[in-house]
Amino acid sequence: MADGDLLKESARRVQEALRAAGFSHQVVELAASTRTSAEAALAVGCDVAQIAKSLVFRLEPSGRPLLVIASGGHRVDESRIESLVGERVTRAEPDFVRQATGFVIGGVPPVGHSQRIMTLIDEALMAFDVVWAAAGHPHALFQLNPGDLEPLTGGRVVGVS
């Protein structure tokens, strides 16, 4: 675990975004990788379903980014997402993810992006008392109440799987 002043720059940006949004969640950096849901769950000792994974899609034809915050235990049903947003969705390429969010794949947080991103939140996350989300770096995350995701991101809770 790291003090806010000792966080890597990308994790510090997430910590600052959390504070600016009025939340007191603490970003932690771990020695172990948290790049995948399974790695993150192992690193913090929780069920993989309690990992709030951030997946970025590209909407077509608009070209806008879409963030889906899904339970680590779920596969996102892209056709369901398409019916919710009214556009075709494709998995975003790494360069698109970095441009849209300011973060690399494996560390994309639910907040602190370089632009406002339409966000959908997996309703399955609401079944837990706490979940863990990426915090801007493949070794950083933060714990939160899943009910905080909606006000934190401006997203809406829906079924994504």
pLDDT of residue 4: 52
Q: Domains of the chain (ranges plus CATH)?
A: 4-158 (3.90.960.10)
pLDDT of residue 2: 43
Q: What is the DSSP letter of 45?
A: T
**What SS3 class is residue 13?**
helix
pLDDT of residue 87: 98
Q: What is the DSSP letter of 122?
A: E
The pairing of strands 118-122 and 27-29 is unpaired
Write the pLDDT tens digit of every residue in 40-97: 999 999 999 999 999 999 999 999 999 999 999 899 999 999 999 999 999 999 999 9
Which pTM value belongs to this model?
0.93
